[in-house]
Structure 1
């Protein structure tokens, strides 16, 4: 056994071990107090990189859940408004069916029906223009936006309500200006009718004139002639002045249509009345403009073999409203399908958040039970190391006994 006082190796060894133990205990205290196994990159460099990637994905998914829930709210807002739109259209259809009962209604009753239809049309417009989500209109045909439903770029779901420029208002649904007034065709002396109160133009149909025997001709027949006249807004077109481009052809070929259309445009203005080739017995149909400054005054259509009818009679109104109901039904069905999709997306995102959070937790969070065991071990070793360092410091005191002799 040697006694040295310049270098106390036992004390140095005890101090080194005690320092290591103190460092371990300090780290255990940090982990236990923060709840994190990785508090700095030095704790686990690779684990830190992985956990930060997972953390960013989890954060993005949590925001995506909120975004998707916004999508659900948008769809519910729009679909709720369309529920009332459906109710209005169903009432309009009932009124149109009632108006079609021409034999059981007088003019006053028809006027009352038309008054309610006008108000219902206005309410369709109001609902379409005022239904908004966070200041954005939903039913005016302009809503076509994407919702970010994932943590990465490009993970979106698009929502379009209506089509471009065609919303859920009366115009977009094709029921604007629906008029259920029923007007009979005139005989050979012409007819009168009153323009709709909103100034909507009427429609004139010119049909085949009678031949020498009084039978109705087909304008596609060779040699058939136009006859009669149309008077509107102080202007008159004499149909008898129109000549076929080719006498060997009927009036329904494209060259003769151009002749008719040119005469109409020159007399009443471009596109005020247009040629309709859908029927050989209706050479042309078009809008007769109301008299200037008197949109609600009677408009005379004069001349033999000229029939007059409103743009939409009761039966036509039923057809238009049926089409509108179908459009709204389709839109609501699409919105319902989108809502279901959004809700499934939310569920999927929440599952992903749960699983990714569990992965991130295993890497970064402290196992409190295990770390408490490490801390207890370090604490005991620290106490023992302190005692042993004290004992090692006492060993050189034996040299004094040699000096006393």
Structure 2
């Protein structure tokens, strides 16, 4: 190679190698400081796209878990109110049994019926007043199509959501109290005959209420199982995202050390290469 002044190719070559190693060192520094292997699309365009989809799924699934937990809270609210309705129905049956015997007069049965009707009114009040976040639960509002609990990442009817239904649990819907009609069994216990007829009506009311509670219990258990599955799914997605996105610190530190040494060597060689043209001065007399 000729000794020239205008074009120092050894310096240019050293500078090119320095830029390459310094760029690699900068990339390693960014990865180690962020903990991520992929910090921009240039690092791994396909990996970035997959990672962002996984991150969105994980965030959505975690919100789905919260949605399902809200559904459980709603069910527990309804079930708690129905436990009070249960107490009222039991008391009403006790009153009907009391009024069914012949040792009471009709005027005394009327006193018994006053409490009986009060219990029926309280059942209806509970059904009307029980709500969760402003949504009434026991007045028939959630009968039919019910309340949709959405927990999945999509909108598939079979995979991402299902409905919680709660039948009307007012006294009228259960078939007890004066609201069902004066001559209907279960309406009153003001006479011995009506009190005796009310016993079967109250059994039916308790059975209807128990069916509602049993359905709520089944839905609560289903939501609990759904939450467990969602948490496992989110955990596995996070693990997969980590394998794509997170930096292997041990491997990257090795690369960092390697590029640091190469960069230091390139700086030293560039310094030497830049001084070589000065040798031409010794040839000039």
Normalised by the size of structure 2, how large is the TM-score?
0.91
1:171 aligns to what?
A: 172
Q: Which has the higher strand share?
A: 1
1:263 aligns to what?
A: none
Shift of residue 32, structure 1, vs aligned partner: 2.0
Structure 2, gaps ≥5 residues long = 179-186
Q: Are 1:7 and 2:7 an aligned pair?
A: yes
1:182 aligns to what?
A: 191
Shift of residue 314, structure 1, vs aligned partner: 1.2
Number of equivalences: 271
String of CA shifts for 1:267-312, please: whole Å, max 9, x gaps.
Answer: xxxxxxxxxxxxxxxxxxxxxxxxxxxxxxxxxxxxxxxxxxxxx7
Matches of 1:160 and 1:93 in 2, distance apart?
A: 27
Shift of residue 174, structure 1, vs aligned partner: 0.4
Larger Rg: 1
String of CA shifts for 1:125-155, please: whole Å, max 9, x gaps.
Answer: 1100000011010000111111112111121
SS in 2 for 1:172: helix
Matches of 1:182 and 1:171 in 2, distance apart?
A: 20
Shift of residue 93, structure 1, vs aligned partner: 0.7
1:128 aligns to what?
A: 127
1:192 aligns to what?
A: none
Matches of 1:2 and 1:149 in 2, distance apart?
A: 74
Shift of residue 24, structure 1, vs aligned partner: 0.8
| Farther-moved stretch of structure 1 (348-357 vs 381-390) | 381-390
1:347 aligns to what?
A: 228
Q: Are 1:325 and 2:223 an aligned pair?
A: no
Shift of residue 112, structure 1, vs aligned partner: 2.2
2:43 aligns to what?
A: 43
Q: Are 1:158 and 2:173 an aligned pair?
A: no
Matches of 1:321 and 1:368 in 2, distance apart?
A: 70
Question: Which segments of structure 1 move beyond 4 Å, counting only runs of 4 or more?
Answer: none
Q: Which has the higher helix share?
A: 2
Matches of 1:53 and 1:181 in 2, distance apart?
A: 68
Matches of 1:325 and 1:141 in 2, distance apart?
A: 17
1:372 aligns to what?
A: 253
Normalised by the size of structure 1, how large is the TM-score?
0.65
1:358 aligns to what?
A: 239
Shift of residue 175, structure 1, vs aligned partner: 0.2
Matches of 1:18 and 1:64 in 2, distance apart?
A: 51
| Farther-moved stretch of structure 1 (104-113 vs 136-145) | 104-113
2:215 aligns to what?
A: 334
Shift of residue 7, structure 1, vs aligned partner: 2.0
Greater relative contact order (Cα 8 A, min sep 6): structure 1 or 2?
2
Shift of residue 8, structure 1, vs aligned partner: 1.6
RMSD of aligned C-alpha atoms? 1.4
Q: Are 1:116 and 2:115 an aligned pair?
A: yes
Q: How does 1:3-402 map to 2 (within 5 A)?
A: 3-102=3-102, 104-143=103-142, 144-154=146-156, 155-162=160-167, 167-177=168-178, 178-182=187-191, 313-402=194-283
String of CA shifts for 1:170-225, please: whole Å, max 9, x gaps.
Answer: 10100021211226xxxxxxxxxxxxxxxxxxxxxxxxxxxxxxxxxxxxxxxxxx
| Farther-moved stretch of structure 1 (55-64 vs 81-90) | 55-64
Matches of 2:166 and 2:249 in 1, distance apart?
A: 53
